[in-house]
Every structure is written in C-alpha cells, then in structure tokens.
C-alpha cells in the first residue's frame, strides 16, 4: 500500500498489517496538530529485498533503506567527499579532510552482534550513491549503545534523520538494551532539536568541552 505521511514529506511503502501502523497513521490527531517527527513514520516491513526498503518522496525522488555492507566502501567515501566541513565536524566531532581507507573499510564491515548500521541509497544513479547513514555501537557490559546519524544536505528536512534514529532506537529495544546515547556538539541545533523531539534528554559532556551527551532510556 502506498501511504502518505502526515507531513507529506516522504511516502513509504508500508505493510498493510494494522499492527505495524502507528496510531497517528490511523487518522488520530493531537487536537488538530500534526504529529511530531518521532511518530511521523509507521513501522515499515523488515528490510529484506536486495535494494532494501523503498522510500518515496513527493518530488518523485526515491531512496532505499538497507543495512550497510562491505561493498559500500566506495559509496561511503564519495558521500564523505560531498559533505561540508561543518557536517563532517558535526558527525565526527572534529575536522577531517579525508576518510582514511581503513576507517571506511571498518565502518562498512560491521559486527552485527554489537553493531547496526543503516544506509539510505539513491539507486537512480550508477553507481548508487549513499545519502545517509545511521549506526549504533553496543557496549554489552553497560547495556547501552552509542549512536550517530548523518543525512546529506540535499536530503535534509525530509524526516530522514528522525526515521534513521527511530530505527536505531527500535533496534536497541529489540536487543534488550536500556539506553541509547550519543555526543552532539552544543552548536548543532538541528540534531539537538531532532533528539528532543524523539524524547532524548541532554547534559553537558564533562570530558568533551562544547559537546552535549544526549540519551534516551529505553
Ligand atoms: C542533524 C541531521 C541528522 C538532521 O537530519 P534531517 O533528516 O534533516 O532531520 P529531519 O528531517 O528528520 O528533522 C526532524 C526534526 O529535527 C529538527 N531539525 C532538523 N533539521 C533542523 C534544522 N536545520 N533546524 C532546526 N531544526 C531542525 C526539526 O525539529 C525537524 O522536524 P521538522 O522538520 O518537523 O521541523 C542532519 O542535518 C545531519 O546529518 N547533520 C550533519 C551530521 C550531524 O549533525 N549528525 C549528528 C551527530 S550524531
């Protein structure tokens, strides 16, 4: 079934099973207000097809959401080169002019027992381009996971950051973790606002000046 989200930003191919739909998607409204980003997306089917889960936008563009894999190294490096210095600093918390090959390899070869990484791929080009990444790294002893999210500029303000972060939250819950957390620069208002909408709380990171530690108890 093709469904339109309440804000009309992204169209999702959704499983029609009612149990997979969020209450807001069944027509419920908050006193006539649109739902917050955190609930704008219904749960979609598990990523299974080779291209991943299709996400369609009102302007006709389409992305596919799937897990990252070892063959994504080149796309990840191209994505890094398209980022502004500011986005690089916000994602990695410091300036980086290059994504070193060993790091790119490492980021694409995850250990599924302690890591999840989703990518948003634009398959309309050859080769396909990576437009977003969301990942968690689990600390089993602490029962928590650190997350990071990145959406390339051309694809921002479409609800994709919220979508990826919500998927990571769901993944942490499925793993039985009690907390998901991340470091965010205090100047990074978009990310802090996004996290606030999803119910995260923030405190100053004592060991990292200029950085907030945001977390969500699960
Ligand atoms: C922060 C980032 C992930 C947001 O991604 P996005 O796909 O644009 O976010 P969404 O469209 O899901 O926005 C969800 C909400 O976040 C807030 N938000 C997002 N971008 C914002 C902006 N530029 N200004 C103010 N609020 C913003 C809004 O409340 C928004 O809801 P709204 O669109 O209904 O107003 C993206 O800008 C990015 O990748 N930045 C660089 C890397 C980074 O900062 N990563 C975080 C470190 S882990």
pLDDT tens track for 103-161: 999 999 999 999 999 999 999 999 999 999 999 999 999 999 999 999 999 999 999 99
Domains and CATH numbers, the chain: 58-217 (3.40.630.30)
Distance 141 CA to ligand 1 centre (A): 31
- Ligand 1: nearest atom to the Cα of 132: 39
Instruction: Find out whether the beta carbon of 121 lies less than 6 Å from any atom of ligand 1.
Output: no
Distance 191 CA to ligand 1 centre (A): 5
pLDDT of residue 205: 82
Asked whether residue 12 carries a pLDDT value surpassing 60, the answer given is: no
Q: Which of 46-50, 81-85, 134-138, 175-179 comes out lowest in average pLDDT?
A: 46-50
- Taking the C-alpha atoms of residue 198 and residue 218, their distance in angstroms, rounded to an integer, is 12
Atom 34, ligand 1: which residue's CA is nearest?
37
Quote the tokens at residue 110.
């995850």
Give 67's contacts (C-beta < 8 A, 6+ positions apart). Answer: 47, 52, 116, 117, 118, 119
- Taking the C-alpha atoms of residue 76 and residue 97, their distance in angstroms, rounded to an integer, is 14
pLDDT of residue 207: 83
pLDDT tens track for 13-22: 333 222 222 2
Instruction: Find out whether the beta carbon of 194 lies less than 6 Å from any atom of ligand 1.
Output: yes
Q: What torsion, rounded to 10 degrees, do the Cα atoms 63, 64, 67, 71 define?
A: -80
Atom 36, ligand 1: which residue's CA is nearest?
151
Distance 152 CA to ligand 1 centre (A): 10
pLDDT tens track for 73-98: 999 999 999 999 999 999 999 999 99
């Amino acid at each position: 079934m093709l469904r339109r989200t309440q804000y009309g930003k992204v169209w999702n191919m959704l499983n029609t099973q009612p149990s997979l739909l969020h209450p807001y998607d069944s027509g419920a409204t908050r006193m006539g207000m649109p739902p917050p980003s955190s609930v704008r997306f219904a749960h979609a089917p598990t990523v299974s097809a080779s291209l991943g889960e299709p996400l369609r936008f009102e302007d006709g563009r389409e992305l596919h959401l799937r897990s990252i894999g070892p063959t994504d190294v080149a796309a990840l490096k191209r994505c890094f080169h398209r980022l502004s210095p500011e986005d690089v600093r916000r994602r990695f918390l410091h300036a980086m002019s290059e994504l070193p090959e060993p790091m790119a390899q490492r980021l694409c070869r995850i250990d599924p027992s302690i890591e999840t990484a989703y990518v948003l791929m634009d398959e309309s080009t050859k080769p396909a381009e990576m437009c977003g990444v969301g990942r968690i790294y689990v600390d089993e002893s602490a029962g928590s996971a650190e997350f990071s999210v990145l959406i390339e500029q051309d694809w921002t303000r479409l609800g994709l950051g919220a979508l990826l972060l919500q998927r990571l939250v769901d993944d942490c819950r499925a793993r039985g973790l009690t907390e998901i957390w991340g470091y965010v620069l205090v100047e990074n208002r978009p990310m802090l606002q996004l996290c606030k909408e999803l119910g995260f709380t923030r405190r100053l990171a004592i060991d990292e000046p200029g950085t907030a530690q945001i977390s969500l108890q699960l």
